[in-house]
Structure formats: C-alpha cells, structure tokens
Amino acid sequence: MNREIYVSLRRTCMMMAIFAGSFILVYGGVVALTKFVYIYFRGFIPDFNENILRAIFYALSIGSFAASRFLYKKRYSPEGLKSRLKDPDALVRHLLMTPVIGMALAEAVLISAFFLFFLSAMYVDFIILSILSSVMIITSVPGVQFLESRVNEASRGA
C-alpha cells in the first residue's frame, strides 16, 4: 500500500472524528440550556441515590474505554492485520472500521454522561465523561506513520 492510501484513511477518520465530536457540542448545548433555562432542574429521578447512578454509569464508561483500548491493540496487532494483507480491500476496510468502533464506544460514554445528567442533574459528571469521550474520539484517529508501521510490521511477519 502506498502512502496516499494511509493519508486518505487518516483524512476519512478525521472527518468521522469531527462528526462524532459534534455530538459532544450538541449534548453540551442541551445540558447548558437545561441548566440555565430550568434552574430548578433536579433530574427525572432526583430521590434516587446518586452514588449508585455514578457507579453504574462510570462503570459503563470505563468498560467502554477498556474495550476500545483492547480492540485497538487486537485489531492493530500484526496477528490482526496479517490475514488481511493478501486482500487490499479487506485491509482498508479493517483499518477504517477500527476507528469507527472506537468512536462508537466513545459515543456510548457520551450517552452515559447524558443519561446521568438527565436522571440526576449531575453537571460535573457530564463534563467529566464528555472529556473522556473527547479523549477517546481523538485517540481513535490513527496517524499515517502509525498505520504504515503496523502494516509493515505485519507484512514482515507474514
């Protein structure tokens, strides 16, 4: 594969990351509007224990983060790429789907933050999980050199 393909893959991943990041702004806007328009908003289940809600949604978010890291290591490993080296189309699909999966898991973190806010009006927790989601989106975009080195490493081992 030549460098133009890697550059094109990175550009496509960047566009997807911008699209996924725009959801953070949309959800943040809804949270800000709710906070400033309905100043007495306490969530839809305000009497529920906040620690239990935090534990549930933070566990889901940490699980999504761990799953994305595990999938990246597995899918970008030489063993994960070796079987796809013979078919360039399959390799490109594989290299393109890996960031998509990571961004979907990042969106799961963002949705968890949004639910946590609406259930119990936890603004700070929304911000923390939104930052985690942003980090996951940013780290899901592979660099050109990273892609080249992984594919070259896999082809040397084949």
Total structural domains in the chain? 1
Domain of residue 127: give its range.
3-157
Write out pLDDT tens, residues 45-102: 878 888 998 999 999 999 999 999 999 999 999 998 998 988 989 999 999 999 999 9
CB 117 within 8 A of CB 125: yes
- Residue 41's pLDDT band (cuts 50, 70, 90): confident
Report whether pLDDT(157) > 80: no
Question: Quick one: tokens of 83?
Answer: 């079987």
Question: Tokens 């990273």 map to which residue?
Answer: 146
